[in-house]
Amino acid sequence: MLLAAVCLCAVLRTQAQPMAKTMLMEPPAPLLPATLGKLQRVAEGDSGDGLGQVDLADKPVLTEDGLKRFARSEYTQGSTHGSVTAYQFMDVSGALAAYDYWTKPGMRAEKMGDNASSDANELLMQSGVNVVVERFGFGHDETVALTNELIDHLPKAHGPAAIAPLLPSLLPAKGLDAESVRYALGPAGYQATGGALPAQALGFEKSGEAVTARYKSGGVLTVLLYPTPEIAGEVARAIPAAAKQQGPAAGTVVLRREGPLVAVTTGAWPAAAAQAMVESVHLPSEVTFDKPMPVEFHAEIRKTYSLLESIAIFSGVGALAAITLGLFLGFGRAGIRVLMGKPAATEPEFLRIDLRGVAGKRLRMPKG
């Protein structure tokens, strides 16, 4: 009996303890496929999560842009040989900033993905949260076909991570050199892409972002966006002092702030053109209200609607009743006259007092 009691206590204690939960984590799909068209992957180079194996020269910029993982592979078929490097970022903003960082002067635009450009040696493409660098030893058309196939294999972004940054769309289109547009999320990327202002004065550590573009006049427009107007105000006060330290090299410096947005001109701008340029940069006006109305508000709205509806119905019924009663009385009177042998319609009868016989006579009041 004692042994049975001990065994029963052990069983109850085991059941009382919470069961350890085992969670199975499915690894993410590989960034690069085993085959690409007729090409076979023969060697997989650097691959991993984070920044451990990226090129040291790129590491500061990729850190700012939020690199999530990357992969680099070699592909071949017969004498054809090439390499593909794919970078996946946390969001589309980081991918666009990295794409602008790797874009070289003289590259020609390509129609694939969200952004793409190429030269004689490589093809650079941004699709969602991914940036791909390809170097193949065959013609342009074959490279484009393989890139379009690769786009379908790349991971897709969802939710807020898939939203493209607003800032590049705020650049005025008139006179814009589209190939000069560069978007940056930090000082390293801003300086590497030819930023015209001192990066330390732009408040990137406060979640700032910048876009720089050159215009046909030769001047440069820098547009900055911050989470709050207060941060933008601090940066707007710091920029003139930093530009003053650059001296005449800064060119025509005109600054304008609109809420969390700051627009600055530098370089060869006529003063009037620089002022007009910064005044043409605006945040889009859009008012949204996603907070549910309080219950009391909905109740008052329903009461008001019900009252107005009742008034409208009562007025309509009253008007219809008045018209019906008028028609009934009018036609009833006409019918009665017809039954009496009289015409249905009669001329109005007036009472008349004939005073012709008493002309010139004096009216006498009776005595007593």
Q: Sign of torsion, CA 118 64 178 239?
A: negative
The three-state secondary structure class of 119 is coil
C-alpha to C-alpha distance for 277 and 154, rounded to whole angstroms:
39
| Whether residue 147 is found in the same domain as residue 187 | no
| Whether residue 124 is found in the same domain as residue 235 | no
pTM value is 0.69
Q: Where does residue 335 fall: left (phi above 0), alpha (psi -120 to 50 degrees), or beta otherwise?
A: alpha
Residue 63 included in any domain:
yes
Residue 361 included in any domain:
no
| Whether residue 97 is found in the same domain as residue 45 | yes
User: Which residue from 55, 127, 57 is spatially nearest to 89, judged by alpha carbons?
Assistant: 127
Amino acid letter, residue 158 = H
| Whether residue 156 is found in the same domain as residue 169 | no
C-alpha to C-alpha distance for 131 and 97, rounded to whole angstroms:
10
Amino acid letter, residue 165 = P
| Whether residue 207 is found in the same domain as residue 94 | no
User: Which residue from 237, 204, 222, 242 is spatially nearest to 168, judged by alpha carbons?
Assistant: 222
| Whether residue 99 is found in the same domain as residue 120 | yes
- Which residues constitute the domain of residue 274? 165-283
**Domain boundary residue, one of 119, 134, 161:** 161
Q: Are 62 and 189 a contacting pair, CB within 8 Å?
A: no
**Domain boundary residue, one of 161, 180, 212:** 161
Q: How many CB atoms lie within 10 A of CB 134?
A: 21
pLDDT at 174: 92
Residue 299 included in any domain:
no
> What secondary structure letter does DSSP report for 164?
P
Q: Which strands sit side by side in the sheet containing 108-109, from one edge to the other? A: 35-36, 39-49, 67-77, 80-89, 130-136, 123-127, 115-118, 108-109
Q: Are 74 and 83 a contacting pair, CB within 8 Å?
A: yes
pLDDT at 1: 47
Residue 274 included in any domain:
yes
**Domain boundary residue, one of 161, 187, 220:** 161
Amino acid letter, residue 54 = V
Pair of tokens at residue 338: 């017809």
pLDDT at 350: 56
The three-state secondary structure class of 264 is strand
Q: How many CB atoms lie within 10 A of CB 25?
A: 5
Residue 309 included in any domain:
no
| Whether residue 45 is found in the same domain as residue 148 | yes
Residue 53 included in any domain:
yes
| Whether residue 85 is found in the same domain as residue 151 | yes
The domain total for the chain is: 2
| Whether residue 103 is found in the same domain as residue 172 | no
What CATH number is attached to the domain comprising 150? 3.40.1000
C-alpha to C-alpha distance for 15 and 115, rounded to whole angstroms:
59
Residue 47 included in any domain:
yes
C-alpha to C-alpha distance for 118 and 140, rounded to whole angstroms:
9
Residue 60 included in any domain:
yes
First to last CA, the chain: 141
| Whether residue 249 is found in the same domain as residue 175 | yes
C-alpha to C-alpha distance for 128 and 91, rounded to whole angstroms:
8
| Whether residue 104 is found in the same domain as residue 179 | no
| Whether residue 127 is found in the same domain as residue 189 | no
Give the pLDDT of the chain (368 residues) as one tens digit per residue: 444 554 555 545 555 555 556 655 556 778 888 888 888 888 666 566 667 778 889 999 999 999 999 888 888 887 778 889 999 999 999 999 999 999 998 899 999 999 999 988 889 999 999 999 998 877 788 888 888 899 999 999 899 999 999 999 999 999 999 999 999 999 999 999 999 999 999 999 999 999 999 999 889 999 999 999 999 999 999 999 998 888 888 889 999 999 999 999 999 999 999 999 999 999 887 655 566 655 555 677 788 888 899 999 999 999 999 999 988 888 888 788 778 877 777 655 556 666 666 555 555 555 55
